[in-house]
Amino acid sequence: MTIDKNKTNQRLIVAISGASGAIYGIAALRALRCAGIETHLVVSKAAALSLGAELDITLADVHALADVVYKPADIGAAIASGSFRTLGMLVAPCSVKSMSEIATGVTSSLISRAADVCLKERRRVVLMVRESPLHLGHLRTMAAVTEMGAIIAPPMPAFYTRPETLEEMVEQTVARTLALFDVDVPMKRWGEDVGL
């Protein structure tokens, strides 16, 4: 049997945790679909609850944006194994709880287990941490997870692009984040599309 390595590597795990900002995970799923990347989605229970408060979208609507969906407690899922090849994992948004579980190797949910697996396999893990202000414990946890190989990428808007809508701000931030996985989606680039 011959396996097309390019095809099996064109998968990305996307997790939406309970922090405010599910809009980032949703925008990532849409962008990845346009880029032809297979998505494997986990939505935490807390994230499912916050969807209704933040957006006019249901959990079923979010699930429909992904190629494969897993239950948050399914630690026996394919993405919980290192033999399941992916580009890595994006947690968008990432709660402090999820970040802390990942930093300590406490894999009590599929989100933290899948991230732990990606880290041990030396795959890219990007955490769009959504918390402000930060106390020393948060900062130490960010340092610890960075030392393990993850990338902390808080969703910061790029105002040099002169966004006119919230959607433009979110899409630019998500595109910049997906670039960390070498996934090329449309975005405004400094020195190419914008600049002094």
pLDDT in tens, 143-196: 999 999 999 999 999 898 898 999 999 999 999 999 999 999 887 777 677 665
CA–CA distance, 141 with 173 (Å, rounded to integer) = 23
Residue 2 in domain: no
CA–CA distance, 22 with 43 (Å, rounded to integer) = 10
Residue 114 in domain: yes
Pairing of strands 151-152, 124-129: parallel
Residue 55 in domain: yes
The secondary element (H helix, E strand) that includes residue 128 is strand 124-129
Residues 111, 17 contacting (CB under 8 angstroms): yes
Residue 190 in domain: no
Residues 20, 92 contacting (CB under 8 angstroms): no
Residue 67 in domain: yes
134 token code pair: 């930060």
Residues 10, 37 contacting (CB under 8 angstroms): yes
Residue 193 in domain: no
Domain membership of residue 95 as a residue range: 10-181
Q: For residue 180, with 0-12 CB atoms within 10 Å meaning exposed, 13-18 middle and 19 or more buried, which class applies?
A: middle
Residue 164 in domain: yes
Tens of pLDDT along the chain (196 residues) come to 444 555 556 999 999 999 899 999 999 999 999 999 999 999 999 999 988 899 999 999 999 999 999 999 999 999 999 999 999 999 999 999 999 999 999 889 999 999 999 999 999 999 999 999 999 999 999 999 999 999 999 999 989 889 899 999 999 999 999 999 999 988 777 767 766 5
Residue 161 has a pLDDT of: 87
144 token code pair: 């610890």
Number of domains in the chain: 1
pTM exceeds 0.75:
yes
CA–CA distance, 161 with 180 (Å, rounded to integer) = 19
Closest CA to 151 of 119, 183, 182: 119
Residue 192 in domain: no
Question: Looking at residue 40, which CATH number applies to its domain?
Answer: 3.40.50.1950
What does the DSSP 8-state code read for residue 159? G
Residue 160 has a pLDDT of: 86
